[in-house]
Amino acid sequence: MPPKPFVDLQSLDPNRLVVDREGVYRICPHRYEFQMLDGILMVDRAEALIVGVKTIRPGEFWERGHIPGRPIFPGVLMIETAAQLVSYYAGSDPNYAKPGVFMGFGGVTDVKFRGAVCVGDQIIMIGKIIDIRSRRFVGSTQGFVRGQMVFEGIVTGMPV
């Protein structure tokens, strides 16, 4: 049985962004095929929570080869989406981030894939920061499609 969501999914409106795609990429410099997040739905510094959204669009670079006839969003890209989410949290924290420092990927543990994510789906990615120190940050992440958990994992990042 999957764990409970870190936030009430019913309270989230994927059409009400608090940070749009351009705002995300002022902090996370990924471009082109590696722009995973479409926006941020919520940042709660008091609770160390962040929620982002990604729509899986037709024609993405992986679609043609990742299960022809039944394209499934690759798990490694779910991990990348989660990493960009917690990197945005750390990189936008005025008490943590330093100007010009990139928040890089440091590792991932305890990953579970619990369902397929397909073209046309919208994944809601939730991160709860569980540790943040000068040399690293750690976030527990969850991904949901239509209210069902499809992904969970612990992401470690670091200022580079």
Point out the residues that are catalytic: 66
What is the 3-state composition of the chain as percent helix, strand, coil, each rounded to the nearest 5?
A: 20, 40, 40
Report d(CA 62, CA 133) in Å as an integer: 35
Q: Which of 132, 139, 124 is nearest to 14 (CA)?
A: 124
CA angle 22, 7, 48 (to 5 degrees): 65
Report d(CA 8, CA 84) in Å as an integer: 22
